[in-house]
Amino acid sequence: MWEHEITGATREIGDLLAARLGLRGGSAGKRLRRAGRLLPRALWPDARFLADAEAMAANPRLAHLVEPGRLDAATARLRAHLRGVDPRDRRRRRLVGILAVLAFDLLVLAVIGLAVWRWRMSGG
């Protein structure tokens, strides 16, 4: 029975990772491992613990080694963080970042073009 609670908790976090961070495909454990830098550093141990707990749940003898209190705490912390993530805001920030880099590159290109034009006009 304990195995079902572990897989239920990891499945819930896996679904939140898919919905909020866009991590799709694979098991919840794989999603948690791929989350990496998308999660705050303080949550990395919780994500690693849940991924390991999911792997241990596959073996009934190992499933009993998962600490219930730690599982609940890790799930609660990850759930609280992921529910606060707005996928639309993440996409908007990523788009603004790309546009800012593009604008800066165009500005540098224009300055270089003006410098070359001025150098050529001065007879150099």
pLDDT digit string, tens, across residues 59-97: 888 888 899 999 999 999 999 999 999 999 999 999 999
Q: What is the CA radius of gyration of the chain?
A: 23
| pLDDT computed for residue 1 by the predictor | 46
What pLDDT, on a 0 to 100 scale, did the predictor assign at position 119? 92
Q: Which of 102 and 122 is assigned the larger pLDDT?
A: 102
Domain boundaries, the chain: 1-85, 86-124
pLDDT band at 124 (very low <50, low <70, confident <90, very high): low
Do residues 10 and 28 make contact, with C-beta atoms less than 8 angstroms apart?
Answer: yes
- Tens-digit pLDDT profile for residues 100-121: 999 999 999 999 999 999 999 8
Tell me what the mean pLDDT of segment 27-43 comes to: 88
